[in-house]
Structure 1
Amino acid sequence: MTPATTPKVVLITGASSGIGEATAKLLAERGHHVVLGARRTERLEEIAEAIRAAGGSAEHHPLDVTEAEQARTFVEASHRRHGRVDVLVNNAGVMPLSKLEALRINEWNRMIDVNLRGVLHGIAAALPVMRAQGHGQFVNVASIGAHQVSPTAAVYCATKYAVWAVSEGLRQEVGGDIRVTTVCPGVTESELAESIADPVGREEMRTFRSVAIPASSIGAAIAFAIDQPADVDVSEIIVRPTASHA
């Protein structure tokens, strides 16, 4: 893979598996320094060690994106160590699908806390740093669900549409020095479906995921957005299987 023109310090949330892990490995391969954040610290250590063994540069920190203070510590620790934060990839997400009539309120709240508040906490932590240094980029991972809704996915899609809306608002507010990219994956290989406890939602997702692309395909899209010249802002990328109807 062609090395990045300018190596950057890239922070990635939800980096212990799926899109986060694949993105970290791909960006490190391109010469960026990656900072991995997630709750599963043992898994983060394995990924960071694998990146370093392959010649890349990586570190990791424990992070629960639902806690604003942890998000702030995650960003500030990287800023102190490297003197800058070039990119924050807000990737952490959960997807416990169910029909609304199942009344899984705790799962609704969990999706709101992780998928939406987690992104807002990341923005709140990194935006002052990027403002002060005069540059930066947010890459917010939404979903194809930000553009279309399916049964069992009403709350999930609502959180992802909210991520899209927050990203667009942020882009309009900070345009000039700070770039904002929304990446909307279609069906992608990941652990997201494992959080589905509702039997109807689980069956719906089993059918939906019959065609899926590897998480590295989303990582490649993120790498593309990051590696554009400073005056080019890739506002949104939708990446889905060629054979997908959704």
Structure 2
Amino acid sequence: MTSSPLPSEAATGGPARRRVVVLTGASSGIGLATAQELAARGHALVLAARRAETLQALARALDPSGSRVIAVPTDVTDDASRRALIATAHEHFGRLDVLINNAGVTVEKGWWWDDPDPLRVLRVNLEAPIELTRLVLPEMRARGSGHIVNIGSVAGRAATNGMYSASKFGLRGFSHGLRRELLGTGVQVSLIAPGFVRSEMTAQARLPMPGPEVVARAVADVLERPRPEVTVPKAYAALAALNSLVPAFGDLLVRRVIIARRYGHGPESGGRPE
């Protein structure tokens, strides 16, 4: 389905409410809440996820006309699928202003070295954002505007699990390095680093935690007021800083609080860390 390109930001009197946003991992959790928040603020959305029926139902709920919100079933680990996503955004809206790399996975069973495909975490959480960014940057740089928003994790500052934290440490480094490479081009890069929030990834968690709406609001806010990095909830920023200063504190926190309270056992029981 195609439609007339949206009017330019200048013609609408403000960039925040007329941006075309590609959002990956949009079918549940943080992605779902972000789609709802951005639609409420007037953004045009290209929703991407693997679950086609769920994704299409969300797009219809947000915009029954299909003129402002479309669903594009996507496997972010597949190059052809990534290219089709970006091409569809251009076909429908005529441009792409924002890329939100939200799709993410954690280790599904046992410790990561027992997982049959542990590198999938790196492909989804790190390789896919890099490759999608490569696809959209030429247009953004040529136009002199655009915004890349990467959904990282506090686990990218205070390690909790080998493969998951490796992917999020990498995404944090990529985000800050890319932001500096693009200084002066008009293209913004932001990292949103959630702590524990309710989602499918934390379904087994026994920790009290806020809903994904807090992350969704942070994403929407950073599009209107760009910042290099935002940690949500804010208290996790202090915990991450303390972990950097006193690594033993981080060891204690992971062993006694995150693992034990989250799964009801210690690491020797073979829990599923995130």
Task: Provide the TM-score with structure 2 as the length reference.
Answer: 0.75
**Contact 1:65 1:121 (8 Å CA) reproduced:** no
CA separation of 1:128 and 1:140: change in aligned 2, threshold 3 A: same
User: Equivalent residues in 2 for 1:4-15 (5 A)?
Assistant: 5-15=16-26
3-state DSSP of counterpart to 2:116: helix
Q: Give me the whole-angstrom Cα distance separating, in 2, the residues matched to 1:220 and 1:178.
A: 21
3-state DSSP of counterpart to 1:206: coil
Q: Deviations over 1:184-226 (max 9, x none)?
A: 00001111246xxxxxxxxxx634xx12111111000000000
Task: Name the counterpart of 2:266.
Answer: none
- Runs (4+) of structure 1 exceeding 3 A deviation are 3-6, 53-56, 97-100, 241-246
Q: Is the counterpart of residue 188 in structure 1 residue 197 in structure 2?
A: yes
3-state DSSP of counterpart to 2:140: helix
**Contact 1:12 1:36 (8 Å CA) reproduced:** yes
The structure that has the greater radius of gyration is 2
Task: Name the counterpart of 1:240.
Answer: 233
Match of 1:46 among 35, 51, 57: 57
CA separation of 1:56 and 1:76: change in aligned 2, threshold 3 A: closer
Tell me the amino acid that sits aligned with residue 216 of structure 1: E
Task: Name the counterpart of 1:62.
Answer: 73
Q: Specify every segment of 5 or more residues in structure 1 that has no aligned partner in the other structure, as ranges.
A: 195-204
Q: Deviations over 1:96-128 (max 9, x none)?
A: 26675x622434211011111111121111112
3-state DSSP of counterpart to 2:191: strand
Structure 1 residue 138, shift from structure 2 partner:
0.3
Structure 1 residue 144, shift from structure 2 partner:
0.5
3-state DSSP of counterpart to 2:69: strand
Task: Name the counterpart of 2:44.
Answer: 33
Q: Specify every segment of 5 or more residues in structure 2 that has no aligned partner in the other structure, as ranges.
A: 1-13, 241-274
Tell me the amino acid that sits aligned with residue 185 of structure 1: P
**Contact 1:213 1:241 (8 Å CA) reproduced:** no
CA separation of 1:19 and 1:56: change in aligned 2, threshold 3 A: farther
Task: Name the counterpart of 1:128.
Answer: 138
Structure 1 residue 74, shift from structure 2 partner:
0.7
Q: Give me the whole-angstrom Cα distance separating, in 1, the residues matched to 2:93 and 2:116.
A: 38
Task: Provide the TM-score with structure 1 as the length reference.
Answer: 0.83
CA separation of 1:212 and 1:49: change in aligned 2, threshold 3 A: same
3-state DSSP of counterpart to 2:205: helix
Q: Give me the whole-angstrom Cα distance separating, in 1, the residues matched to 2:154 and 2:164.
A: 11
Q: Is the counterpart of residue 221 in structure 1 residue 221 in structure 2?
A: no
Task: Name the counterpart of 2:90.
Answer: 79
Identity rate, percent: 34
Tell me the amino acid that sits aligned with residue 82 of structure 1: F
Q: Deviations over 1:143-168 (max 9, x none)?
A: 01011012xx1210110010000111
Between Structure 1 and Structure 2, how many residues are aligned?
225
Match of 1:178 among 171, 176, 187: 187
**Contact 2:59 2:66 (8 Å CA) reproduced:** no
**Contact 1:95 1:193 (8 Å CA) reproduced:** no
**Contact 1:28 1:51 (8 Å CA) reproduced:** yes
Tell me the amino acid that sits aligned with residue 77 of structure 2: T
Structure 1 residue 55, shift from structure 2 partner:
10
Task: Name the counterpart of 1:109.
Answer: 119
Q: Give me the whole-angstrom Cα distance separating, in 1, the residues matched to 2:157 and 2:94.
A: 37
